[in-house]
Chains A and B, each alone.
Chain A
Amino acid sequence: MKKTLLILLSMLSVSALFAGCMGKDSPNTLTVLNYGKYIEPKVLDMFEDETGIKVEYEEYITPENMYTKYKAGAIDYDLICTSDYMIEKLINEGEVLEMNYDNIPLVKNLDQTYFDFSRSFDEKNKYTLPYFFGTVGILYNKEMIDESKVDSWDILWDEAYAGKIIMADSVRDSFMVAQKRLGYSLNTTDDEKLREAQKLLIAQKPLIYSYLVDEAQDEMIAENAAMAVVYSGEAGLALEYNDKLAFSVPKEGSNMWIDCWFMPKSAKHKENAEKFLNFLCREDIASLNFDYVYYATPNTKVKDSLDPELQKNPTIFPPKEVLDNCEVLKSLDDEATMRYNLYWKEIKSAD
Chain B
Amino acid sequence: MRNLKRQLLAGPYILWMAGFILLPTVMILYYAFTTTSGNFSLLNISSIAFSVHLKSLVLSLQLAFICTVICLVLSYPVAMILNNIKSKSQGLLVFIFILPMWMNFMLRILAWRMLLSNNGVINSLLGTLGLPGLDILNTPKAVVFCMVYDFLPFMILPIYNAMARIQPDIIEAAKDLGAGRITVFFKIILPLTMSGVISGIIMVFVPALTSFAISDLLGGGKVLLIGNVIEQAFMQEYNWNLGSGLSVVLMVFVIASMALMNSHGDGEGGSFT
Task: Determine whether the beta carbon of A211 is less than 8 Å from that of B19.
Answer: no
B43 neighbours in A (Cβ, 8 Å):
none
B229 neighbours in A (Cβ, 8 Å):
345
Interface residue? A349 (CB, 8 A): yes
Give chain A interface residues in 3-19, CB to chain B under 8 Å: 3, 6-7, 9-10, 13-14, 17
A211 neighbours in B (Cβ, 8 Å):
220-222
Interface residue? A189 (CB, 8 A): no
Interface residue? B238 (CB, 8 A): yes
Q: How far is the CB of A236 from chain B (nearest CB, A)?
A: 23
Give chain A interface residues in 67-84, CB to chain B under 8 Å: 67-68, 71
Interface residue? A125 (CB, 8 A): no
Task: Determine whether the beta carbon of A17 is less than 8 Å from that of B15.
Answer: yes
Beyond A10-B23, A14-B19, A223-B119, whether A209 also contacts B56 by CB under 8 A is no
The digit string for A92-111, where 1 denotes a CB below 8 A from any CB of B, is: 00000000000000000000
Interface residue? A65 (CB, 8 A): yes
Give chain A interface residues in 193-213, CB to chain B under 8 Å: 205, 208-212
Task: Determine whether the beta carbon of B236 is less than 8 Å from that of A62.
Answer: yes
Cross-chain contact of B138 among A7, A68, A210, A346 (Cβ < 8 A): A210
Interface residue? A64 (CB, 8 A): yes
Interface residue? B237 (CB, 8 A): yes
Beyond A64-B238, A223-B119, whether A205 also contacts B222 by CB under 8 A is yes
Q: How far is the CA of A212 from the CA of B113 in the complex (A)?
A: 13
Give chain B interface residues in 232-252, CB to chain A under 8 Å: 232, 234-238
Beyond A17-B15, A67-B238, A341-B236, whether A209 also contacts B138 by CB under 8 A is yes
Task: Determine whether the beta carbon of A346 is less than 8 Å from that of B52.
Answer: yes
Give chain A interface residues in 23-66, CB to chain B under 8 Å: 62, 64-65
Give chain B interface residues in 180-231, CB to chain A under 8 Å: 220-222, 224, 228-229
Q: How far is the CA of A7 from the CA of B27 in the complex (A)?
A: 8
Chain A residues within 8 Å of chain B by Cβ, number: 38
Interface residue? A348 (CB, 8 A): yes
Residue of A nearest to B15 (CB): A17
Q: How far is the CB of B164 from chain A (nearest CB, A)?
A: 39
Interface residue? B108 (CB, 8 A): no
Give chain B interface residues in 40-87, CB to chain A under 8 Å: 51-52, 55-56, 59
Residue of B nearest to A60 (CB): B235
Q: How far is the CA of A2 from the CA of B37 in the complex (A)?
A: 10
A10 neighbours in B (Cβ, 8 Å):
19, 23-24, 27
Interface residue? A342 (CB, 8 A): yes
Task: Determine whether the beta carbon of A345 is less than 8 Å from that of B222.
Answer: no
B253 neighbours in A (Cβ, 8 Å):
none
Residue of B nearest to A224 (CB): B118
Q: How far is the CB of B46 from chain A (nearest CB, A)?
A: 15
The digit string for A316-350, where 1 denotes a CB below 8 A from any CB of B, is: 00000000000000000000011001100110110
Chain B residues within 8 Å of chain A by Cβ, number: 36
Cross-chain contact of B220 among A6, A210, A337, A349 (Cβ < 8 A): A210
Residue of B nearest to A163 (CB): B135
Q: How far is the CA of A225 from the CA of B16 in the complex (A)?
A: 47
B56 neighbours in A (Cβ, 8 Å):
349
Task: Determine whether the beta carbon of B222 is less than 8 Å from that of A68.
Answer: no
Number of A-B contacts (CB under 8 A): 85
Interface residue? A306 (CB, 8 A): no
Q: How far is the CB of A286 from chain B (nearest CB, A)?
A: 31
Beyond A3-B38, A345-B229, whether A64 also contacts B222 by CB under 8 A is no
Interface residue? A288 (CB, 8 A): no
Q: How far is the CA of A2 from the CA of B20 in the complex (A)?
A: 20
Cross-chain contact of B235 among A65, A163, A205 (Cβ < 8 A): A65
Interface residue? A169 (CB, 8 A): yes
Q: How far is the CA of A82 from the CA of B38 in the complex (A)?
A: 29
Beyond A71-B238, A225-B118, whether A349 also contacts B23 by CB under 8 A is no
Q: How far is the CA of A342 from the CA of B234 in the complex (A)?
A: 14
Interface residue? A171 (CB, 8 A): yes
A225 neighbours in B (Cβ, 8 Å):
118
Q: How far is the CA of A83 from the CA of B154 in the complex (A)?
A: 43
Interface residue? A310 (CB, 8 A): no
Task: Determine whether the beta carbon of A68 is less than 8 Å from that of B119.
Answer: no
Residue of A nearest to B229 (CB): A345
Interface residue? A219 (CB, 8 A): yes
**B residues apposed to A, CB below 8 Å:** 15-16, 18-20, 23-24, 26-27, 30, 34, 38, 51-52, 55-56, 59, 117-120, 135, 137-138, 220-222, 224, 228-229, 232, 234-238
The 7 closest A-B pairs by CB, nearest first: A210-B220, A211-B221, A349-B224, A224-B118, A64-B236, A210-B138, A348-B224
Known: A209-B220, A210-B220. 18 other contacts (CB 8 A): A1-B38, A9-B23, A10-B23, A10-B24, A13-B23, A14-B19, A14-B20, A64-B237, A68-B235, A209-B138, A212-B220, A223-B118, A341-B232, A341-B236, A346-B52, A348-B221, A348-B222, A349-B56
**A residues apposed to B, CB below 8 Å:** 1-3, 6-7, 9-10, 13-14, 17, 62, 64-65, 67-68, 71, 163, 169, 171, 205, 208-212, 219, 222-225, 337-338, 341-342, 345-346, 348-349
A–B complex contacts, Cβ < 8 Å, 18 sampled: A3-B38, A6-B30, A10-B23, A10-B24, A14-B19, A17-B15, A17-B19, A68-B236, A68-B238, A169-B221, A208-B222, A209-B138, A210-B138, A211-B220, A224-B120, A346-B52, A349-B55, A349-B59
